[in-house]
Amino acid sequence: MALSLREYRARIKSTESMKKITRAMELIAASRIIKAQQRAQAAAPYARELTRAVSAVATYSNVDHPLTTEPDETKRAAILIVTSDRGLAGAYSSSVLKEAERLAQKLREEGKEVDTYITGRKGEAYYKFRQRPVVQTWTGFSDQPTYDVAHDIGETLIAAFLNDDETVASEGSPQGVDEVHVVYTRFVSMLSQEPVATRLLPLEVVEGDVELPPLYEFEPSPAEVLDALLPKYVQSRIYFALLQAAASELAARQKAMKSATDNADELIKKYKRIANQARQAGITQEISEIVGGVNALADATAGSE
Amino acid sequence: MSDLLQVELVAADRLVWSGEATMVIARTTEGDVGILPGHAPVLSLLVDGVVDVRTPENETWVAAVDAGFLSVAGDRVSILSEHAEMSHEIDLERARHDLERAKAAGENDDEAAEAVRRAEARIRAVEKAS
């Protein structure tokens, strides 16, 4: 109990204002999650129709497309890491970065070189601090991604994938890669989000367990339809990853801020107890001083009589 | 088979319009097509342009869409486009403004040409609806 009562009071006050801030952040995150989930739901019809169309083309035509062909030999792989722009979301960014680290390690063991693409300021800062090369970053949208961003990212990654020249990065276009992976955080529920790594390119067209699609006619031709569809499919997959990551980020932030608020509560309780003890100790001391003083006075007068 | 089409107009981030229709007119890479009930299954590519939907109540909904695609199967019509707007959502002033700016940006530029087409489609959609 080395500190005085006044100092404890100051601590309680600062903890209380901290609690107010974390509480506000928790509520903001909670309200944004609902919006993020609505956005994810709103994007579902497009993804569903696109998947149907792609699997229809894949079922009825034997067109080989560069985006779906496995290269004979993979020497370079690209990883897109989806992180957040802001911190205070618990282990959100670090767990997705750890997952990316694991994937990069695995790819290197397979003898591939790894190119890194990043969305979100946290990931950018992590790589910059460690002075690791990053091909391209996109920032400033992590909690509410728009389709335009996904479009942009998709174009860059497709360009990298289609670029055959693997030795030199040509002017304006990134170095060619043979594989593209995405690492993002999947939103499982409000309580759990898990980082996942999936391969984006070459595409594996998932023929869903839907009934056989009707016998489509393709205009102008199956090849041209596929040409237009596949990049959109890739972009929609990236958009999906961004939306999931946004919802996960907000959920992680809400959880982190909730435990911060709880901790502040706990701390305030503890400080209050100590402060009360200090106050009582002060009172007890004062009383015993007074009693002691009175006694001494009484003894002195008793002795003189 | 019913004599109505189930139409879904879907943009990348939302469902723009859905409902029943007697006819859908859209502009594909091969030219304008009209889809009536009982149309054969088809998947075709759309260019930036205007999509017309006639409802059973004899109303016409007009939407401006970006390049996308159209799929018809068993009287279900899905129109997918990265950006799509119904005519009543379009801000005519802004579309005109965008058009002028895009035109000013240069004729040779691919991107500007795309922006011009897009703005023109939006203006056309509004004019057609009114």
Q: Point out the domain boundary residue: B55, B71, B86.
A: B86
Q: Does B34 share its domain with B60?
A: yes
Q: Is the pLDDT of residue B106 over 70?
A: no
CB contact under 8 A, B69 and A224: no
Q: Does B17 share its domain with B79?
A: yes
Q: What's CA A304's distance to the chain center, in Å?
A: 83
Q: Which of B6, B16, B43 to mutate to test the interface with A (most CBs of A within 10 A)?
A: B43
| Burial (Cβ within 10 Å: 0-12, 13-18, ≥19) of residue A283 | exposed
Query: Is the alpha carbon torsion for B90, B92, B98, B104 positive or negative?
Result: positive
Indicate the average pLDDT of chain B. 82
CA–CA gap between residue B130 and residue A218 (Å, rounded): 34
For B11, name the nearest residue in chain A, comparing CA atoms only.
A46
The DSSP secondary structure of B66-105, one letter per residue, reads -SEEEEEETTEEEEEESSEEEGGG--HHHHHHHHHHHHHT
A10 by DSSP, 3-state: which? helix
Q: Does B45 share its domain with B71?
A: yes
Q: How far is CA A115 from each of CA A79, A108, A111, B19, rounded to the nearest angstrom?
A: 6, 11, 13, 46
Q: Is the pLDDT of residue B80 over 60?
A: yes
pTM metric for this prediction:
0.83
B38 at interface of A, judged by CB pairs closer than 8 A: no
Q: Rounded to a whole number, what is the distance in Å from the CA of B26 to chain A's nearest CA? A: 13
Q: Does B11 share its domain with B64?
A: yes
A302 by DSSP, 3-state: which? helix
Residue A209: what pLDDT?
Answer: 53
Residue A27: what pLDDT?
Answer: 94
Q: How far is CA B70 from each of CA A67, B25, B83, rounded to the nearest angstrom?
A: 22, 11, 14
CB B70 within 8 A of CB B78: yes
The DSSP secondary structure of B7-57, one letter per residue, reads EEEEETTEEEEEEEESEEEEEETTEEEEE-TTPPPEEEEE-SEEEEEE-TT
**How many domains in chain B?**
2
Question: Which A positions 129-158 lie with beta carbon below 8 A of chain B?
Answer: 146-147, 150-151
Q: Does B17 share its domain with B75?
A: yes
In terms of residues, how long is chain B?
A: 130
Nearest to B11 among A46, A215, A235 (CB): A46
Residue A1: what pLDDT?
Answer: 47
Q: Does B17 share its domain with B42?
A: yes
Written as tens digits, the pLDDT of chain A (305 aa) is 456 888 889 999 999 999 999 999 999 999 999 988 888 888 888 888 888 888 878 777 776 777 877 777 778 889 999 999 988 888 899 999 999 999 999 999 988 888 899 999 999 999 999 998 888 899 988 888 888 889 889 988 888 888 765 545 544 455 678 889 999 999 888 888 899 998 888 877 665 555 666 778 887 888 888 888 888 888 988 999 999 999 999 999 999 999 999 999 999 999 999 999 999 998 999 999 999 999 999 988 887 76
Encoded tokens for A180:
């593209």
Residue B2: what pLDDT?
Answer: 58
- Cα angle for residues A276, A282, A286 (degrees, 5° grid): 145
CB contact under 8 A, B67 and A213: no
Q: Does B105 share its domain with B46?
A: no
Fold assignment, A24-258 = Pyruvate Kinase; Chain: A, domain 1 (3.40.1380)
Q: Where are the domains of chain A?
A: 24-258
CB A92 within 8 A of CB A121: no
Q: What range defines the domain where residue B64 resides?
A: 5-86
CB contact under 8 A, A224 and B11: no
- The ipTM assigned to this model is 0.79
List chain B residues with CB under 8 Å of A49. Answer: 8, 10, 71, 78, 80
Nearest-10 crossing angle of helices A92-109, A121-129: 60
A192 by DSSP, 3-state: which? coil
User: Could you tell me the maximum CA-CA distance found in chain A, to the nearest angstrom?
Assistant: 125
pLDDT digits (tens, 9 = 90+) for B10-66: 888 888 888 888 989 988 888 888 889 888 888 888 888 888 888 888 888 888 888
Residue A174: what pLDDT?
Answer: 58
Query: Is the alpha carbon torsion for A194, A199, A201, A205 positive or negative?
Result: negative
Q: Does B14 share its domain with B44?
A: yes
Q: Does B82 share its domain with B99?
A: no
Averaged pLDDT, B107-116: 69
Residue A226: what pLDDT?
Answer: 83
CB A244 within 8 A of CB A185: yes
Look at B120 and A199; give whichever has higher pLDDT.
Answer: A199
